[in-house]
Structure 1
């Protein structure tokens, strides 16, 4: 029988021990989640990956997960407990677990770790992420043609390169199809807080936004938009299809299952090694959810062409000419951004107003 143990709330605070794993010949895999598995977004999709591992490997693999783990000392204790109880491989699935993952990996050199969206690696620590900015380009392309107010709202989680890349990509592609478009950005400093996310969505709508994008994990912005009426949204991390055909008119889907299965198989075969994986539309790690009938056919068709060109590698979402926010040149005509710059992106592109919080 599969081992699934959840620690949340007061149980996590009291550090109830994670039960020891099963037989020594069973590969044991742990998952550390920043939100609840039912968030409908980021953590939900990682949980689908865990379930896919179970389905793929049957009784040869045991899995355990802990949800709602804060990015700090609690994460260290959860990872340590998993390692002490026999985990062979631990996936830590939020950017804020980066330093904690490295710390615990040093303590357990025989346990393999994989950190999502980070950049620090070690002999027993691999990193993996998705090129979410590719999906943001598609969202911007659609949003720029769907807005009537020319105001697009964006709910940012934390001002880290991953989120800034997404904002820039969405803006550039909205501006390309609609030169009059404006972006209004609200930072909520959380990955998952339905109340804060709903409040941000309402504030953006009050500012005139009739399209709202988000880099947060709950469906609360979708619900706020549905309540307001006349506002379009996009699913984040998962399809959020319960809000289709509107306000949710498409989505970015994080498809972690193939990666998790591949990495567990490599561990079982003795072929695991520390790598850095950054997959996108072409590899299937980034999916684009159904573009609903609320979107005009010509817009849907042009979005599908954009998806195909990004997926084939024919087009890069950051292709010049592009200037930085202060008007200085970043990319010349036809030049594309290198991964190093994208991974450290800490600036807005020209046309976005406001400052990035420090």
Structure 2
């Protein structure tokens, strides 16, 4: 899905337009809501996008923005929708361009007065000063959820189902695996990718196969995995959102993503006339309030004390900077 070798030819043609445009125009009054549009390739119910949508709705409720959005936009249609929102006077456009990287940056080059904040596998480019990137760097919380998983598995066999093996997914899986191995270095992992961001039936079938191969804990990077865990009577670890209410006897813990710090920083920058090419990924770190470990809820008292003590110790160390979770973007492999 990610276009890793996209060309930068469009930057050459836009150099004259962008020359000197290090900051967006001043003049947006802090008290006035700014117009923000969201462009999403999946339904807003999907885990990852739901966090962006939730943060935007919260910002609108408190009067900071006027928010509109379009969901289920195909990669081939993405640039057209971006242009329509730019032409409609939106001051900030947020979305995810993993499958339309070059096209999205071309649009941004044509509308230097509009701020673009896009989920991306690539970094910002100073030659495109109105295009900032972000990502869900929630490896801190994923690591902590791995510690719990490592304490809960009895077979020492954990199944992991992801969408695509891109950095956004890989780094969370690696962090989770590292946490699990803190509790048991001999744990084995089954790793598989379904080639889709939203295909619950396929994720479910993949998870079923892992349970048949001995997994008693499943890492639910995609929707459908927790359904399989529930049906097979094994445990699951959630990702990005907390689904324990739907699976009270199945989902032990979840690594949560909070997009509010990311979006709020971008809104403030646009209002101040200071939005620029930047990497907003840092706002997803636990130390910035961008990620957390969900409450144990129905599993309170069921997780070994040794694991909880380690989670508490490491969480504090992560927040004060004395412990750093490695960021490994390479594709994880089965043991």
Report the CA distance between 1:297 and its aligned residue. 3.3
Q: Give 1:289-308 correspondences, 5 Å limit.
A: 289-291=294-296, 292-293=299-300, 294-308=302-316
Question: Residue 31 of structure 1 corresponds to which residue in structure 2?
Answer: 38
Match of residue 202, structure 2, among 196, 202, 209: 196
What corresponds to 1:80 in structure 2? 83
Q: Does 2:252 align with 1:249?
A: yes
**Segments ≥4 residues shifted beyond 3 Å:** none
Q: Does 2:169 align with 1:163?
A: yes
1:162 deviates by 2.5
Which position in structure 1 is the counterpart of 2:230? Answer: 226
Counterpart Cα distance in 2 of 1:93 and 1:261: 17
* CA deviation after TM superposition for structure 1 residue 278, in Å: 2.3
> In structure 2, which of residues 288, 307, 315 is the aligned counterpart of residue 283 of structure 1?
288
Q: Secondary structure at the match of 1:241?
A: coil
User: Counterparts of 1:1-358 in structure 2 under 5 Å?
Assistant: 27-39=34-46, 41-57=47-63, 61-70=65-74, 72-93=75-96, 95-121=98-124, 122-216=128-222, 218=223, 220-229=224-233, 231-279=234-282, 280-291=285-296, 292-293=299-300, 294-318=302-326, 342=328, 345-346=329-330, 348=332, 352-353=333-334
Unaligned ranges ≥5, structure 1: 1-24, 319-336
Q: CA shift at 1:26, angstroms?
A: 5.7
SS of equivalent residue, structure 1 residue 242: coil
Check conservation: 1:120, 1:127, Cα contact below 8 A: yes
Q: Contact 1:33–1:69 at 8 Å: present in 2 too?
A: yes
CA contact (8 A) 2:221 2:239 kept: yes
Q: Provide the aligned C-alpha RMSD in A.
A: 2.1
Q: Aligned to 1:287, what secondary structure does the other structure show? A: strand
What is the CA-CA distance between 1:108 and the residue it aligns to?
1.6
C-alpha separation in 2, matches of 1:251 and 1:97: 29
Distance of 1:287 and 1:97 partners within structure 2:
30
Give distance in 2, aligned partners of 1:89 and 1:238: 25
Please report how far the alpha carbon of residue 283 of structure 1 lies from its aligned counterpart in structure 2 after TM superposition.
Answer: 0.7
Distance, in Å, in 2 between the alignment partners of 1:90 and 1:125 is 10
Q: In 2, Cα distance between the equivalents of 1:251 and 1:79?
A: 33
Aligned to 2:12: none
TM-score, normalised by the number of residues in structure 2: 0.82
In the aligned structure 1, how far is the partner of 2:84 from the partner of 2:309? 50
Q: Which residue of 1 aligns with 2:3?
A: none
The corresponding residue for 1:4 is none
Q: Are the equivalent residues in 1 in contact too, given 2:151–2:303 (CA < 8 A)? A: no
Q: CA deviation at 1:211?
A: 0.7
| 1:215 CA displacement | 2.5
Greater length-normalized contact order (CA 8 Å, ≥ 6 residues apart): 2
- State the secondary structure of the residue aligned to 2:277: coil
- Contact 1:56/1:261 (8 A) holds in 2: no
Q: Is the 8 A contact 1:155 1:197 kept in 2?
A: yes
1:209 is displaced (CA, Å) by 0.8
